[in-house]
Amino acid sequence: MIMKAKLLAIMERSHDLWEQLANDYQVFDLDSYIERARILAPDVFLENPETEEIEGDIQDENNEHIITWEDGMDEIVRIYQKI
């Protein structure tokens, strides 16, 4: 099944806050985590999110959001908003 959602953010492992946000993910629920990420790393959030097919393995989702990781949590994290 192909899922589509609005891509809100892309963070790569090379980002300065990768480790901190990876640790925060273990502590916060998904919505709180995304709110925190918006504050700490606004540069990874897209100004005009576009609907696209979800890439990567879905690691977490709720009624509003989806987080995917490529290669486990080793390379790229994408945050989507369900439509």
Hey, where are the domains in the chain?
Answer: 4-82
Q: What is the pLDDT of residue 81?
A: 96
In angstroms, what is the C-alpha Rg of the chain?
Answer: 12
- The Cα 7–Cα 21 span in angstroms is 18
Q: What is the pLDDT of residue 73?
A: 54
- The Cα 27–Cα 4 span in angstroms is 27
pLDDT at 28 over 60: yes
- In the predicted model, what is the mean pLDDT of residues 32-36? 96
How many residues would you count in the chain?
83
| pLDDT band for position 56 (cuts 50, 70, 90) | confident
pTM as predicted: 0.89
- The Cα 35–Cα 27 span in angstroms is 13
